[in-house]
Structure 1
Amino acid sequence: MRKWHRWISVFFGIFMLWIAVTGVLSQVAVLWPAGAPDPALEAAATPPEGFVCPEGWRCSPPRATSGIRSMVGLFHHLHSGETFGALGTTISVLSGFALIFFSISGIWLYVQMWNNRKKRKLTPRWFWK
Structure 2
Amino acid sequence: MRKWHRWLSVLFGALILFIAVTGLMSHVAALVADGQPAPVAAAPAGFVCPETMTCRPKPAPDGARAWVGFLHHLHSGEEFGPVGTALAMLSGTALIFFAFSGLWLYIQMFRGRAGSPKRGGRFFW
- In the alignment, is the contact (CA less than 8 A) between 2:26 and 2:68 conserved in 1? yes
2:17 paired residue number: 17
Return the TM-score normalized by structure 1: 0.77
CA distance in structure 1 between the partners assigned to 2:52 and 2:27 by the alignment: 32
CA distance in structure 2 between the partners assigned to 1:74 and 1:17 by the alignment: 18
CA distance in structure 2 between the partners assigned to 1:35 and 1:102 by the alignment: 39
Read off the aligned partner of 2:6 and give its amino acid letter. R
CA distance in structure 1 between the partners assigned to 2:51 and 2:113 by the alignment: 73
Read off the aligned partner of 2:20 and give its amino acid letter. A
Q: How many residues align?
A: 120
Shift of 1:72: 1.2
Shift of 1:49: 8.0
- In the alignment, is the contact (CA less than 8 A) between 1:5 and 1:102 conserved in 2? yes
1:15-70, Cα deviation, whole Å (9 max, x unpaired): 001100111111111111433564xx36x27xx8875463xxx8545346542222
Runs (5+) with no aligned partner, structure 2: none
1:68 paired residue number: 64
- In the alignment, is the contact (CA less than 8 A) between 1:5 and 1:105 conserved in 2? yes
Return the TM-score normalized by structure 2: 0.80
CA distance in structure 1 between the partners assigned to 2:115 and 2:29 by the alignment: 50
Read off the aligned partner of 1:12 and give its amino acid letter. F
Higher deviation after alignment, 9-18 or 23-32: 23-32
1:95 paired residue number: 91
Shift of 1:107: 0.3
1:75-107, Cα deviation, whole Å (9 max, x unpaired): 111111111111111111110110000000010
CA distance in structure 1 between the partners assigned to 2:15 and 2:49 by the alignment: 52
1:5 corresponds to 2:5? yes
